[in-house]
Amino acid sequence: MEDGQRETFHFTTPWEDPDGLLPLSEQQLEHFGRWARPSQFMRGEPTMIYLISSLSITQTIITDCSFVSSLVIAAAYERRHGKQLITNIIWPQDSRGQPIYNPAGKYMVKLHVNGIPRKVLVLVDDRLPLAKDGQLMTSHTTHPAELWVSIIEKAYMKLNGGYDFPGSNSGIDMFALTGWIPEQYRSDDKDFEPKRLWERMQSASRYGDCLLTVATGELDELHGQEEEKIGLVKTHAYAVLQVREACGEKLLQLKNPWSKVRWKGAFSVHDQQRWTAALRKALDYDQTSAMQHDNGVFWIDYASLLRYYQGVYLNWNPALFAHSTTRHGQWPKRHPSDTADDTASLGRNPQFALTLTVPPGAPAATWLLLTRHTVFKDQGKDDFLTIHVFKGERGGFRCYYLEEAWKEGVYSNRPHCLVQFDLPPGQHQLTLALAQYTPVPYQVDFTLKVFSMAPLSLRPLPYSMRHLERVAGSWHGPSAGGCANYDTFVDNPRVALVVPEGPPADVQVELHVPAAKAASDRVALPSVGLELLALDSALGTDKLPSKSLAASGAYRRGFCLLEVRGLAAGRYALTASTFEPRQEAGFSVVVGSSVGLTCKLLAPEGHGLERSLVRGAWAAGSTAAGCPNFGNFHNNPQYRLAVSRRTEFLVRLRLSPAERAGGGKRPALGLDLYQRDAPLGPDEARGRSQPLRSANGGVYSYPAGGMLLARAPLEAGVYVLVPSTFEPLAAAYELLWYAESGAVRVDQLR
């Protein structure tokens, strides 16, 4: 069934829009006289269309020059190519598909809104605002009884909240009228290519595949000239009627939607020098006739256009592409603890897998059009969207890091975002990641259209992990330990993961700096990283070195991702860190898994025990004795530990902050605990069979955080603790230990 056949248009009394009369603009209110139907003010019988002509359309006091310019060029297309483009969007229609005047005053206009053609939202009646002198205060044609311009304009103004139209650009308005793909060029863009634009405009004008409009910028501010002197209006849209190259000149014919005020510069109607007889003939231009009446139509050279016009808008016929598809979606709401900056993480954004099969021969053009749905008047002012494209290893899978994108989109708060690229022959797997520069407090719906010369398929890429756990924490005070370059790395917060017995788990861990932090200061986001260890290794043992099972890689601002496939049942620990120590911030660890697992924040090292710190040094020629291989092990510093009662105990040996700050290779360290009352002597220290416990199984090294005698019970008694280096080296160190309050007294023996 045709669109109009679903709607009733015939009534015994004039139909009134149940939504009421449209709000008027300030200028309209200043001159407003009354609302009237066409039969009440038009001379003769009203008609919907008398003659489609771009030259007859006239803008009045509504600030919708971009919309009227779009009507002008759409009418010019119909006239030149004999194809319906604008006249077929109005109902009711006759049996030939031509819109007709409805005495009942009800009309339906098909406009492309929020990505698709919508009709029920644009039912309008034919009541129009008249000035006190009886003049029509809407756009119209020069025919006194023709309605189509006023009716289409009223429908579009209704969708935009009323005649108090804030202004737009003609690419957006043209899409609303025709659904043709909007592309925009700005002459002030750093990568603007004048030659390429001219070629595209010429091609568009020659084959009728594209509708062209242009817009000026702030002329008086940019060039220091008055508008009247050059005959142009600042921040004003113009329809492009022709693009021609003749007699070595590049020229465009434009129309001011006011139907008056013409260009006064090179190749204007009064330019006698440049308009040669040969040029006038080539363009079929009657300069004498054009001088007689200012209808707003003029010729301008391309160089002047680039100087005075800031925006060029091309709307392309989607039928140019052999293949296309459309998807609609909704931006998921971010969790308050998620990173809010898309430059940090795209993981929570809508993403799609695009497969293209380009046949042998030439590359295939592919265009992506993202349309933001608008539900209230000022929506989109602060909502900047784009599309980033990934291929290669990440193509077809969810992507997180913007720097890995094959093609980065440009953020824009316009309703439409267009990304274009060509692909060589072959099969291509791409990921399209929709991006939002900063979150907005309202729901964002969207439509994604893909156009290509190659066969394609498009499918959503949902978050694949079935189970999700979230743990919140913070880096604060001692727990802001920094990366593994610092001994304080072990002080960072850790999260315990328990994978249950059963099949191995695929695990994906995200570390986020909270949204509140990101929204307040994008630059201040710390660089963060994740590391996965076996839990026993993370908590520390005397015999096993800490061994990383997986890491997130290079530290990244505000967000990082760690992925592990086939993680066996067991207990694990995640260390969340900033790159530099003493960077305080809140964070959220989000653990996604293919199986149900549990996770919780671990208590910090030494939790529940009293912390003590002793500083010392290996002095050259005395206490810098090295390991037992050098025969002077007993000359190393020794500490007597008097333990009055059974206690939990752990101790770390590491270089002093000054030594660590000096850089260079760190010496391999050893830490041994003997159960004895007297210090070690020369005979007793020749072998290493005596220690009760040795850090790292007695193997000298310097792991992150220094050497550790892991937390374990220590019975009441007397012990001797010996810190040493592998080779006799002079260096300052510190011993950090934890024990129950009052349970251990420490005295240095040498």
Instruction: Report the amino acid identity of residue 286.
Output: D
Say how far apart CA 462 and CA 53 lie, in whole Å.
Answer: 49
Where does 594-687 show beta strands of DSSP type E? Answer: 598-601, 610-618, 639-643, 647-655, 669-675
Three-state DSSP string of 515-543: HHHHHHCCCCCCEEEEEEEEHHHHHCCCC
Structure tokens at 103: 């005495």
315 is catalytic: no
CA distance 465 to 506: 8
Average pLDDT score, the chain: 88
| Tokens (6 digits) for 628 | 């037992």
pLDDT value for 54: 87
Q: Where is 255: in which H helix or E strand?
A: strand 249-255
- The residue assigned the tokens 């990934």 is 390
Catalytic residue among 114, 160, 169, 256: 256
To the question of domain 610-748 being in CATH 3.40.50.300, the answer is no
What is the DSSP-derived secondary structure letter of residue 85?
S
% helix / strand / coil in the chain, to the nearest 5? 20, 35, 45
Residue 49 to residue 146: CA distance in whole angstroms: 6
Cα 389 to Cα 448: distance, rounded to the nearest angstrom: 13
Instruction: Report the pLDDT value the prediction gives residue 519, as an integer from 0 to 100.
Output: 41
Q: Encoding tokens for residue 131?
A: 């000035």
| pLDDT for the residue 600 | 92
Phi/psi for 601 (5° steps) reads -75, 130
Q: How far apart, in whole angstroms, are the C-alpha atoms of residue 484 and residue 546?
A: 12
Contact 75, 139 (CB under 8 A): no
- Domain parsing of the chain, residue ranges: 3-178, 181-316, 321-460, 467-601, 610-748
Return the residue matching tokens 């434009």.
Answer: 254
Q: What pLDDT shows up at residue 312?
A: 94
The CATH number corresponding to 181-316 among 3.10.20.340, 3.90.70.10, 1.20.1340.10, 3.40.190.10 equals: 3.90.70.10
Token duo for residue 320: 């140019």
- Which two tokens mark 93? 């229609």
321-460: CATH architecture: Sandwich (2.60)
Rounded-to-integer distance, Cα 395 and Cα 674, Å: 58
Identify the architecture of domain 467-601 in CATH.
Answer: Sandwich (2.60)
**Structure-block tokens of residue 746:** 């420490």
User: Which is the catalytic residue, given 65, 210, 599, 627?
Assistant: 65
3-state secondary structure 677-699: CCCCCCCCCCCCCCCCEEHHHHC
| pTM, rounded to two decimals | 0.83
What lies within 8 Å, CB to CB, of 704 at 6+ separation is 484, 487, 489, 490, 546
Structure tokens at 169: 């650009």
- For 217-226, b/e burial (b = at least 16 CB within 10 A) is bebeeeeeee
Residues 6+ apart with CB under 8 A from 79: 52, 53, 54
Question: What is the residue-wise DSSP string for 137-187?
Answer: -S-EESSTTB-HHHHHHHHHHHHTTSS------HHHHHHHHH-PEEEEEET
What burial class does residue 362 get, using C-beta atoms within 10 Å of its C-beta: 0-12 exposed, 13-18 middle, 19+ buried? exposed
193 exposed, middle or buried (CB, 10 Å; 0-12, 13-18, 19+)? exposed
Cα 648 to Cα 715: distance, rounded to the nearest angstrom = 9
The count of other CB atoms within 10 Å of the CB of residue 191 is 5
Nearest to 147 by CA among 39, 272, 20, 64: 39
Residue 522 burial class via C-beta count within 10 angstroms: exposed 0-12, middle 13-18, buried 19 and up:
middle
pLDDT at position 544: 47
Kind of pairing, strands 744-748 and 707-714? unpaired
Phi, psi of 18 (to 5 degrees): -65, -15
Cis peptide, bond prior to residue 144, ω within 30 of zero: no
Residue 427 CA from chain centroid, whole number: 27
The label of the residue with tokens 């784009």 reads 386
Query: Which stretch of DSSP H or E encloses residue 66?
Result: helix 65-81
* Residue given tokens 């603890």 in the structure block: 337
| Same fold? 181-316, 321-460 | no
Q: Would you say 509 and 590 are in contact if contact means Cβ atoms under 8 Å apart?
A: yes
**What pLDDT sits at residue 461?**
92
Q: What is the DSSP letter of 47?
A: B
Residue 705: name the closest of 741, 750, 671 by CA: 671
Helices (H) and strands (E) in the chain, counts: 14, 42
Torsion, Cα 277 281 282 283, to 10 degrees, reads: 110
- Please tell me the predicted confidence (pLDDT) of residue 120: 47
How far apart CA 4 and CA 13 sit, in angstroms, is 20
CA separation for the pair 520, 261 (Å, rounded): 48
Told to judge if 114 belongs to the known catalytic residues of this protein, a careful annotator would answer: no
65 labelled catalytic: yes
Provide the sign of the torsion angle of the four alpha carbons 14, 17, 23, 25, taken in this order.
negative
Structure tokens at 297: 């139509």
Q: Which amino acid, 530?
A: L
Pairing of strands 731-739, 647-655: antiparallel
CA 192 to chain CA mean position, Å: 23
CA–CA distance, 378 with 411 (Å, rounded to integer)? 18
Segment-wise mean pLDDT, segments of 10 residues, the chain, 750 residues: 70 94 93 95 92 89 86 91 91 93 95 71 90 94 93 92 83 91 88 91 86 86 65 91 94 93 94 94 94 94 93 94 94 70 82 95 94 68 85 85 91 89 95 86 86 96 86 93 89 93 93 64 78 73 64 93 93 94 93 91 90 94 93 93 96 90 84 92 68 90 88 94 96 95 93
Q: How many Å apart are CA 691 and CA 722, to the nearest integer?
A: 10
Q: Which of 112, 140, 236, 416 is catalytic?
A: 236
CA neighbor of 710 nearest in space, from 546, 572, 577: 546
What pLDDT was estimated at residue 688?
Answer: 54
Q: What is the dihedral of CA 177, 181, 186, 191, to 10 degrees?
A: 180
